[in-house]
Amino acid sequence: MTRYKTVYKTHNTYTETVKEAIFDLLVLPAEDKNQQVVNFSVKSLPDEPVFMYKNLFGFNVVRIRTSKPFNEFRFQMEATVDVKEQNPFDFTGLPLEKELEILQSDSFRIENFLFLRKTRYTSVSPKNKKKFLKYKKDRPVFEYLMELNSYIHSMITYCTVSTDVYTVADQVFEIERGVCQDFAHAFIAVARENGIPARYVSGYLNQGKGYVGDMFMHAWVEALIPGVGWKGFDPTNNLLVEHNYIKVAHGEDYSDCAPIKGVLKTGGEVKTSYSVQVMQEQ
Q: What is the pLDDT of residue 208?
A: 74
Tell me: do 100 and 68 sit in the same domain.
Answer: no
* Residue 78 maps to a domain: yes
d(CA 221, CA 181) in angstroms, rounded, equals 10
Q: What is the pLDDT of residue 216?
A: 77
Q: What is the pLDDT of residue 191?
A: 98
Q: Give the range of the structural domain holding residue 170, as residue numbers without chain letter.
A: 96-256
Q: Is the pTM of this model over 0.85?
A: yes
DSSP secondary structure of 54-71: E-TTS-EEEEEEE-S-EE
Q: What CATH number is given to the structural domain containing 55?
A: 2.60.40.2250
Tell me: do 173 and 110 sit in the same domain.
Answer: yes
CA angle 165, 119, 164 (to 5 degrees): 10
Tell me: do 74 and 25 sit in the same domain.
Answer: yes
For residue 233, give the nearest of 150, 131, 177 by alpha carbon: 150
d(CA 258, CA 200) in angstroms, rounded, equals 11
* Residue 91 maps to a domain: no
Low-confidence ranges of the chain (pLDDT < 70): 214-215, 282
Residue type, 249: A
* Residue 89 maps to a domain: no
Q: What is the pLDDT of residue 111?
A: 96
Tell me: do 145 and 212 sit in the same domain.
Answer: yes
Tell me: do 235 and 133 sit in the same domain.
Answer: yes
Q: What CATH number is given to the structural domain containing 250?
A: 3.10.620.30
Tell me: do 193 and 169 sit in the same domain.
Answer: yes
Tell me: do 232 and 104 sit in the same domain.
Answer: yes
Tell me: do 9 and 80 sit in the same domain.
Answer: yes
Tell me: do 148 and 100 sit in the same domain.
Answer: yes
CB burial string 92-131: b at 16+ within 10 A, e below: eebeeeebbeebeeeebeeebeebbeebebbebeeebeee
- Tell me whether strands 60-66 and 50-54 are parallel, antiparallel or unpaired: antiparallel
Tens-place pLDDT, residues 135-171: 999 999 999 999 999 999 999 999 988 888 899 999 9
Tell me: do 62 and 200 sit in the same domain.
Answer: no
Q: What is the pLDDT of residue 269?
A: 86
- Quote the number of domains for the chain: 2
d(CA 255, CA 24) in angstroms, rounded, equals 13
